Amino acid sequence: MLLRQWVAALILIAVGAFTVSAQNAGEVEKGRQLFLGMCSRCHGAEGGGGEGPSLTRLTRAHNDEELSAIIRNGIPDRGMPRIRRFSDAELGQMVGFVHSLGGAAGGAITGKPENGRALYQRLGCQSCHIVAGEGGDFGPELTTIGARRAPDYLRQSITDPGAALPRGAPVPGRGFNEFLPVKVVTGDGREVNGVRVNEDSFTIQVKDAGNKLYSFRKADVKQLDKLFGKSMMPDYKARVSAAELEDVVAYLSGLGSGPGDSK
Amino acid sequence: MKQVLWFALAFSYATADAQVPYERIAGADSEPSTWVTYSGNYQAQRFSLLSQINRQNVSQLKPTWVYQMRNPGIVETSPIVAEGVMYITEPPSTATALDVRTGRPLWTYTPSIPSDVIIIGSPPVNRGVAILDNTVFLGTVNCHLIALDAKTGIVRWDIVVDDNKKGYYITAAPLAINGKLIIGVSGAETGIRGFIDAYDPKTGKRLWRTWTVPGKGEPGAESWGGDSAVHGGGSTWVTGSYDPELNLIYWGTGNPAPDWNDDTRPGDNLYTCSLVALDANTGKIKWHFQFTPHDVHDWDATEVPILFNAQVNGRARKIVSMANRNGFFYVLDRQTGEFLSATPYIKQNWTDGIDAKGRPFARRDADPKVAGTLVYPAIAGGANWYSPSYSPTTGLFYQAAREMGGVYFKGDAEYKDGTAYTGGGGEGKNGDDAYGAIRALEGTTGKLRWEFRLVTPPMAGVLSTAGGLVFAGAEEGNFFALDAGNGKPLWELQLGAAIRASAMSFAMDGKQQVAIAAGSSLFVFGLP
């Protein structure tokens, strides 16, 4: 009827207890279809992860009920939307499909995390990224990145950072690209290059590579270019070897994915 | 002597009694300092004849007062102002009277809402009250209609419109006409059978009910497969318009149920996604026009139908117009329902066009699928419940347009009383993939005259004024005024939370004011 976009899905009342065991292949296949539609954009068609984490090894959901609750309620602070439109049967099919996932889709981790950690320092990544409270704050925090992004996505973000900007934080708004590079030419001809911090229809807030914050009224600027497909992060494709890349991916994949390996 | 005194007292009571008689609502345009019906006048133009705030001075606009709601929740209220009092609603179903000079509450009434109230298909919102004589009327989320004394908020009567256990609920403001109170219901997402009701404002007695989905053997029943009409949806959750001369009520109807799974309901599914013109005396459907036959995208036609008179192809026409959720702007003859034109006002790809009678060539490859189908517009549509505006001065129809595609999913649908009966869902391509605009369309053709771009599809209405202004709101909280002639921004203020309401205007102590809700607050603006 109305406002689906705003409430993410239907407000369902009284979700009864349900039992999930989509044992037969037909049910799992139905779950796969649902998954392709609702989940694959972030978790990958085979559940191996991407912008969202791999579902081949579930770290938060220890049983069907916990997995169902995550699907129903989402994980708001991690960008996972709640999905409330499923019937109990559909939810069961989805849970069954997620449980059927296995293997190493989403990218295997072949590098050595300790080498990757050293390389991370040597490349100066910490000048823009915070891990466990330390580092610069121009780019996204990486403290728990291993729990939130699959190896393939991390690999791509190092070799082709503009291909997939982070999305979905509460600021600047649901579904907006974060760290979107913008070029602003002010009324008096000054050029400011930086990333968008926030934006509305009349104003835009930008921070530059020196981490200086600017606030512009759009009516006052001569030019405003949003550089979709680009990132302020340098492309490291030519600066690391294939083996080094795997080491960094291994290091990042370990961040936040389990106790004792978050640093 | 005593008898004379009693007579005098009774007479003075009777005079005070009729604060806002029907004649004042019908003549709303001659009294622009008030705002006595949901959209400002029966034509639903949301146009203020006040011109004190105008293109020259709007840049000086300042807050006059701010009222903060008691309860959290989305505020969609459109205030009523009469006799120095502003009547608003707060989520979910509270009515409050404010001193229009200061914003101080005079009374507030909160009905008792059961904790197991069923509200499926929208947030628990309310869009406003109606006023007639000395009574204010409120619809509630547990599907009651309540008459409150305008001076005190004391209940005059409280009736059940229909059974909330089956999913019926009310978010719309009632429409008060001569001796009748018209109300529509929400609930198509639970498979209700929709209707529009008329009640006696004095007693709460139902005068007529017009079903929006026909019963067995009734005209239109053949447009539903099997028994699907029984839970066919067609809710009526946005206040319509009224032509006193023709004595016709114009009201939009919502989606068929289940929304996205059409397996059980082959056919056009009358009268869902339609505009119905009802004889106000009997409720009889004089004509209907179905914008989206056999809808599978949840594109309710519950947008505000605006009435105006104009020349179309050299002929004087009484027009009813609607920027429909399906992406087209429609112009119909409101006497006969004759289709005059339909023009897309946003990007759409669900149809290859509209035929000479107004029927779309719907593309079946745009139907929802289990794995999803990308279609423009998204579920919330190019327009939605929030009000458009028509300015008789410029002849332009002002619409807050939503440019967004969405992925539509088909899912299971099984009817059970009071549970979701939707058969799927959708996901909007939001963020940087979407945008919005305030668009000025020629009222008789839908041709785009100008637009003002917004970074996000809006969910807030538009007010136009005789001061040559268009007021509108943005999802990011900007409340702003545009030049009604060319769309240039003239004033803007950040209100700090999403605007999900429609602005209105009134005057107090001879000074024009503009009111808008944002977040959990109601703001009133005037010149210093």
* Residue in chain B nearest A229 by alpha carbon: B432
Is residue A263's pLDDT more than 60? no
Residue A10: its pLDDT value, please? 34
| Radius of gyration of chain B, Cα coordinates, nearest whole angstrom | 22
Question: Residue B465: in which H helix or E strand, if any?
Answer: strand B462-465
Portion of chain B with pLDDT greater than 90, in percent: 94
Whose CA is closest to B422, among B275, B268, B326, B296?
Answer: B296
pLDDT tens column, B176-195 = 999 999 999 999 999 999 99
Residue B10: its pLDDT value, please? 42
pLDDT tens column, B424-466 = 988 888 889 999 999 999 999 999 999 999 999 999 999 999 9
CB B148 within 8 A of CB A31: no
Is residue A103's pLDDT more than 80? no
Nearest CA distance, B135 vs chain A (angstrom): 29
Is residue A13's pLDDT more than 60? no
Is residue A159's pLDDT more than 90? yes
Cβ distance of B302 and A2 shorter than 8 Å: yes
Is residue A8's pLDDT more than 70? no
Considering only CB atoms, which chain A residues are within 8 Å of B412? 87, 89-90
- The residue-averaged pLDDT of B271-281 equals 98
pLDDT tens column, B162-181 = 999 999 999 999 999 999 99
Judge whether A37 is closer than 8 Å to chain B, CB to CB: yes
Judge whether A9 is closer than 8 Å to chain B, CB to CB: yes
CA B448 to chain centre: 23
- The residue-averaged pLDDT of A148-170 equals 84
- Indicate the range of B150-159, B205-214, B427-436, B446-455 predicted with least confidence: B427-436
- Indicate the range of A71-80, B226-235, B401-410, B504-513 predicted with least confidence: A71-80
Query: B331: which strand partners?
Result: B321, B341
Residue B152: its pLDDT value, please? 97
Cβ distance of A1 and B480 shorter than 8 Å: no
Q: Which residues contact B106 (CB under 8 A, 6 or more apart)?
A: B85, B97, B98, B99, B153
Residue B450: its pLDDT value, please? 98
Interface of B with A in 170-209 (CB under 8 A): 186, 188-189
Burial of B130 (0-12, 13-18, 19+ CB in 10 A): buried
CA A3 to chain centre: 25
Is residue B390's pLDDT more than 80? yes
Sheet containing B339-344: order of strands: B306-312, B315-323, B328-333, B339-344
Considering only CB atoms, which chain A residues are within 8 Å of B123? 3, 6-7, 11
Q: What are the residue ranges of helices labelled H in A101-241?
A: 113-122, 145-148, 151-159
Residue B18: its pLDDT value, please? 65
Is residue A260's pLDDT more than 80? no
Nearest CA distance, A89 vs chain B (angstrom): 8
Mean pLDDT of chain B: 95
Quickly state the pLDDT bin for A11 (edges 50, 70, 90): very low
Interface of B with A in 105-164 (CB under 8 A): 116, 118-123
Residue A171: its pLDDT value, please? 58
pLDDT tens column, B462-493 = 999 999 999 999 999 999 999 999 999 999 99
Cβ distance of A201 and B476 shorter than 8 Å: yes
Cβ distance of A37 and B409 shorter than 8 Å: yes
Judge whether A132 is closer than 8 Å to chain B, CB to CB: no
Quickly state the pLDDT bin for A258 (edges 50, 70, 90): low
- Indicate the range of A8-22, A77-91, B288-302, B427-441 predicted with least confidence: A8-22
Is residue A261's pLDDT more than 60? no
Can you tell me the ipTM of this complex?
0.90
Number of inter-chain CB pairs under 8 A, A vs B: 147
Is residue A76's pLDDT more than 80? no
Considering only CB atoms, which chain A residues are within 8 Å of B300? 1-2
Quickly state the pLDDT bin for A4 (edges 50, 70, 90): very low
Judge whether A93 is closer than 8 Å to chain B, CB to CB: no
Residue B5: its pLDDT value, please? 47
* Residue in chain B nearest A217 by alpha carbon: B492
State the angle between helix axes of A88-100 and A64-73 in degrees (0 to 180), rounded to the nearest 10: 120
Q: What are the residue ranges of helices labelled H in A101-205?
A: 113-122, 145-148, 151-159
Is residue B1's pLDDT more than 60? no
pLDDT tens column, A35-66 = 887 888 788 888 888 878 888 777 788 888 88
Quickly state the pLDDT bin for B525 (edges 50, 70, 90): very high
- The residue-averaged pLDDT of A18-27 equals 57
Q: What CA–CA distance (Å, rounded) separates A13 from B189?
A: 12
E strand spans, B195-273: 195-199, 206-211, 241-243, 248-252
Portion of chain B with pLDDT greater than 70, in percent: 97
Residue A102: its pLDDT value, please? 63
Cis amide linkage into residue B258, ω under 30° from 0:
yes
Q: What CA–CA distance (Å, rounded) separates A189 from A205?
A: 18
CB A138 within 8 A of CB A209: yes
- Using CB atoms, which residue from B255, B406, B411 is nearest to A1? B255
Residue B8: its pLDDT value, please? 43
Residue B128: its pLDDT value, please? 98
Quickly state the pLDDT bin for A23 (edges 50, 70, 90): low
- Residues of B marked active site are found at 298
Burial of A13 (0-12, 13-18, 19+ CB in 10 A): middle
Is residue B109's pLDDT more than 80? yes
Residue with the larger pLDDT of the pair A23 and B228: B228
